[in-house]
Structure 1
Amino acid sequence: MKRRAFLALGTSALALMAAPVRAAMPRFLSSEPFTADTVRVLAQQLALSEFRPRPEVPAAWRDLTYDEYRKIWFNVQNAIWAEDPFLFEMDLFHPGLYFPRAVEIDVVQADTAHRLAFDMDLFDSTDDAPVLAVDETMGYSGLRFRHLFEGEFNHREFAVFQGASYFRAIGAAQAYGLSARGLALKTGDPEGEEFPDFTRFWVEEPTPGDPVIIMHALLDSPSVAGAYRFEITPGEACEMRVECSLYPRVPLDHAGIGPLTSMFLYDQTNRHRFQDFRPAIHDSDGLLIWNGAGEMLWRPLANPVELQVSSFVDDSPRGFGLMQRARRLSDFADLEAHYHERPSLWIEPEGDWGPGVVRLVEIPSDEEIYDNIVAYWRPRDPLAPGQEHRFAYRMTWGDEAGRAAPPRRKDVARVLNTHMGLNFRRDAILAAIDFAPHPSFDVPPVYGALEGFTLFVNASRAETSTGVFQPNPETGGARLAFTFDPGDAESTELRAQVFKDGTPVTEVWLYRWTRS
């Protein structure tokens, strides 16, 4: 991005002495008391009234082209708290284009919330940027947090909240990838999806040295209002603790809690469908579930030719998430997108979420610019109107295998990769599943195979071979390979796992094969 140029004044000595120009915090439009219950009370009151969409920003802002929108950007020298000794700074995004309705943003100081006026002086622009009328009450389209990491001199961004109820974050050494949402409603339903909006944010001003930033959000939609509290801790992994209270206006029989949104175009399972120089393109490559029964389920993602919905029935899940397990540059051969640096995102419920399903929605896509994967927890029982429904969970944005990895079973080997295609005789489909190293794999192979293991392989509407289990010298782990013949079936559900002396030593591998 182009940044504003500053002219040297007089001599070089004067230039060195000149302080950078910074705007003060935007003017406060209003101030009002704020407590821990403020947003919950607002959401309760909102749910008792008929839904009313927020007003749109002026037409000149809505009608900006993509190129025009990018000619205006926030000047980070004008960040909120830029002149304060905090580990955090906050940037603001202007509305328009994809964001026709703005959000209100308040800074909470002590027990008072101050609503920020829209201030065009906080932004920079190119010389040919459009000149737009400004209404200081119109609000912003979202916000971005930056953090001063240890050993660094500049605040670096780690989280963005912008658009509907979408937000995303990264660990300290990562690139942005998948997103999360406050709430999903009717995802994949024939009558269409409903997208709730965060309509107002309250950001608590931190104190010097405070490693955590706290933000509250008000959610609104035709079907529900909600109050959210985010406790966000940046680091090697960005950790968020989320509390949400939902107040339905109507029965919510299809609500998605802790929803995740990602992109999967292709990998070794469907590479043949795409003419591209890269071996894989995806922000996430699998859905991981630690179910209430204690099983670790791994379901590689797919890009189906028709909409595909999978439901994993559970009771009191221990966690679920969309993972990016491909971590080598050579997995993608992309020097620009850096897919190998995209975060995994793990949801860890707090308390008993009861019965329901982890739902996976896979939408056909032919471009890497579209998010086509959604995963979330769907409670079995509808969320009734006139009641408060509370959920709390932790989110870990990072590397699943890094030092700040989320909690999971350590006694079963992770699935590293799945390869799929025709076998050598071209008369059946071969699936090869690579597992990470495990202590039980450290035995001498017999005629190239690992013995003493029980291989469970199963397929619906298809015959399978017994499978072969071999060491993989490249990964240091092992590979399970088997064939299956779906015959005339359009799809088949596959399941595989390896046992030693009756004890599982690998994750449960699940896959839905469909004819393409």
Structure 2
Amino acid sequence: MTGSKFDRRQILSGVAATGLAATLNVAAADPAAAESVAAKAGVKAGLKLGAPEKFSYALLEQRARERAALPWEPPVPVAPDLLDRITYDAYQEIRFRREATLMLDEDRAVPVQLFHLGKQTRDSVKVYLYQDGEAQEVLYSSALFDTPEGHPARDLPPDVGFAGFRVMAPDLKTDWLAFLGASYFRTSGPFNQYGLSARGLAIDTGAPTPEEFPRFTDFWLESGDNDAQIFTVYAYLDSQRVTGAYRITAKRNVDARNIARVEMEVEARLFARADITRLGIAPFSSMYWYGETSRRQIVDWRPEIHDSDGLAIWTGSGERIWRPLNNPPRVMGNAFVDNDIRGFGLLQRDRDFVHYLDDSVFYERRASVWVEPITPFGEGEVHLLEIPTDDEIHDNIAAYWCPKAPFKAGESRTYVYRLRWLDDIPFPRALAKATATWTGIGGRPGHKRPEGVRKFVVDFQGSVFRGIGREDGVEIVVTPSRGTLSNAYCHPVVDQRERWRALFDLEASGEEPVDIRMFLRKDDRALTETWVFQYFPET
């Protein structure tokens, strides 16, 4: 979850920003076969491809099932000494050639480029073109990349493979989907700005034992309809205790405001090599350094720094929950028990540039990601892992669904779910959502402030407040796990439409966190989602 100064997050964003270069002239390993598949895929015949082989999702499932019965074979390091020399700066000098772009459809709406290996991206993967039941491997060649004279990449052996791939916009100036490192993938979201990452699978994330990182080792790329940016990738997943066959279909639409919606359907067929107690389905990795809820941690000139600011949950019973993220004093794991959860995700709700003031990385543009099970997830928990961090380069937040039943050796499971990368999730008009959370010293201005008391202020916004006034019986409901409450009340924010503010003081001490639940109601009807927070009195 954490990394060195130049970690996965920086590598991917750096590669996405690199330019594109000149010409390509590559000989085909099998010219006739390459000509056929290349013509189907809309790429030039000069691309170097392997021999044709049969492929289907059913065959991929069979492969995963059979390999799960065999001992795990760890990946063999590829030219480690040379890759050590391809540092972050050297990696930025490697540019995939524009003319080598794989055009996976006749309308050139799904162009694909490949990532090179490097010091931070050293796990080699295989990439295949798939059309009409036949697949051919895209073979590595240094001629696919433009590298300076004397660059260590020029000395790599001819069969090193690739680090991953990305799907470009039709004009090849930006990318909107990238697979790079372990089972990580992410999109540029609604505002063409990378942020948090999704993963194919997580194992033992936040557990006392070391985390296991299953990785995608092979990809088969297939385009969809020619009149839209629809893309299907099949992937084989492998690790010490599990194998998997994945089918991920992604579609990108851009509206009249130039806001993109990226929607994915993920089907994961998993086979257990050994027992797994903490299995992470639909996992995310994100970053939260500090924000409006943690102003005491601000050390940088920017007011807020985070890729995501909260975890949203839609429970099987219909409750909506919002949990603002923390940069905790120690590693913290929280679990939200549920049955047949309707949705969950890490969101970036705060979209105001003035709250970040960063005009180079644009945190207000980071995507929110929402998971919707297509087939029921059953009993389990949403796990939230928060790790202390002192910089923005570390992914210190993880969230995923953990099934209640352990995944036993020899078993198989299938999970089908939808991922939506968007600016904000659909939300019922009958509820207001929490849009801001602040904390500060307790008590009343102009009076002596009591020691050990913290004030919490939460703003809710929504059309549900329309026509409701201060005297109409809206009340605050606060439930802390411990401590003493005082000064709890709520009111409409002056001169702000459809916005109410909830305030309360909490007196608590000690190192153990206080879990707080709060919402607003009128009579017996909840007006807001449930705001959930974890407070550390001694910080």
TM-score greater than 0.5 by the shorter chain: yes
Query: What are the residue-to-residue correspondences of 1:109-124 with 2, within 5 Å?
Result: 109-124=131-146
Tell me what 2:36 maps to. Answer: none
Specify the alignment match of 2:327 in structure 1. 303
Paired residue for 1:227?
Answer: 245
Partner of 2:459: 434
C-alpha contact 1:165 1:182 (8 A) present in aligned 2: yes
Alignment deviations for residues 113-157 of structure 1 (CA, whole Å, 9 cap, x no partner): 101100221212345633523433321000001233xxxx55641
Q: Partner of 2:535 in structure 1?
A: 513
Q: Assess if the C-alpha contact under 8 Å between 1:288 and 1:322 holds in 2.
A: yes
Partner residue in 2 for 1:183: 201
Counterpart residue number, 2:167: 145
Residues 1:47 and 2:55 aligned together: no
Residues in 1 aligned to 2:297 and 2:177: alpha-carbon distance in whole angstroms: 34
**Match in the other structure for 1:409:** 428
Aligned residues: 488
Give SS of 1:54's match.
coil
- Aligned-pair CA distance for 1:23: 6.8
Give, as a single letter, the amino acid of the residue that structure 2 aligns with 1:195.
F
Whether contact under 8 Å (1:26, 1:119) holds in the other structure is no
Q: Provide the C-alpha distance between the structure 2 equivalents of 1:323 and 1:142, rounded to a whole number of angstroms.
A: 26
- For 1:317-342, what per-residue CA distance to the aligned partner results, in whole angstroms no more than 9, with x for missing partners? 00000000010101111111100000
Structure 1 unaligned segments of length 5 or more: list them: 7-21, 401-405
Name the structure 2 match of 1:132.
Answer: 154
The alignment status of 1:315 with 2:317, answered yes or no, reads no
> Superposed, which structure 2 residues align to 1:224-263 within 5 Å?
224-235=242-253, 236-263=260-287
Q: Does 1:169 align with 2:184?
A: no
Maintained 8 Å contact 1:51/1:221: yes
Residue in 2 aligned with 1:327?
Answer: 351
Per the alignment, residue 376 of structure 1 pairs with 400
User: What residue is the counterpart of 2:236 in the other structure?
Assistant: 218
Q: CA deviation at 1:199?
A: 0.4
More divergent stretch after superposition (406-415 vs 291-300) = 406-415
Letter in 1 for 2:437: T
8 Å CA contact retained: 1:457, 1:466: no
Corresponding residue of 2:39: none
Q: Does 1:453 align with 2:446?
A: no
Q: Does 1:293 align with 2:317?
A: yes
Q: Which residue of 2 aligns with 1:80?
A: 102
For 1:79 and 1:71, how far apart are their aligned partners in 2? 18
Change (3 A) 1:131 1:168: closer
Question: Which deviations, in whole Å up to 9, do the C-alpha atoms of 1:407-456 show, x marking residues without a partner?
Answer: 4433211110100111244322111001112333533435xxxx411310
Indicate the larger mover: 127-136 or 460-469. Answer: 127-136
Structure 2 residue identity aligned to 1:350: I
Tell me the CA shift for residue 27 of structure 1.
Answer: 1.1
The answer to whether 1:91 aligns with 2:113 is yes
Q: Which whole-Å CA distance do the structure 2 matches of 1:351 and 1:173 have between them? A: 30
The whole-number CA distance in structure 2 between the counterparts of 1:83 and 1:344 is: 29
CA offsets 1:267-289 (integer angstroms, 9 cap, x no match): 12211122221111100000000
Amino acid of the structure 1 residue aligned with 2:131: Q
1:362 aligns with 2:386: yes
Question: Aligned with 1:37: secondary structure?
Answer: helix
Of the three residues 501, 504, 515, the one matched with 2:523 is: 501
What RMSD in Å do the two structures reach over aligned CA positions? 2.0
Residues 337 and 380 in structure 2, CA contact (< 8 A), matched pair in contact too: yes
SS at match of 1:257: strand
Please, what TM-score do these two structures have when normalized by structure 2?
Answer: 0.86
Q: Is the 8 A contact 1:171 1:234 kept in 2?
A: no
Question: Quick check: which one's helix share is greater?
Answer: 2
TM-score, length-scaled by structure 1: 0.90
Q: How far apart, CA to CA, are the structure 2 residues paired with 1:285 and 1:215? A: 30
Moved more, 247-256 or 433-442: 433-442
Aligned match of 1:208 in 217, 226, 248? 226
Matched residues in 1 for 2:90 and 2:462: separation?
A: 51
1:108 to 91, 116, 130: 130
Distance 2:198 2:20 in 1: 30
- Following the alignment from structure 1 to structure 2, what is the Cα–Cα distance between the partners of residues 34 and 497? 53
Per-residue CA deviation, residues 255-310 of structure 1 (Å, 9 max, x unaligned), is: 00000110000012211122221111100000000001110000000000100000
CA deviation after TM superposition for structure 1 residue 468, in Å: 2.0
For the structure 1 residues 398 and 131, does the alpha-carbon distance in structure 2 shift closer, same or farther, using more than 3 Å as the test?
Answer: closer
CA spacing shift, 1:287–1:69, aligned 2, 3 Å = same
Match of 2:55 in 1: 34
- TM-fit CA distance, 1:231: 0.7
Percentage of pairs with the same residue:
34
| Distance change >3 Å, CA 155–CA 268, structure 1 → 2 | closer
**Whole-angstrom CA distance in 1 between matches of 2:105 and 2:527:** 54
Q: Deviations over 1:176-208 (max 9, x none)?
A: 000010000001122210101100000114453
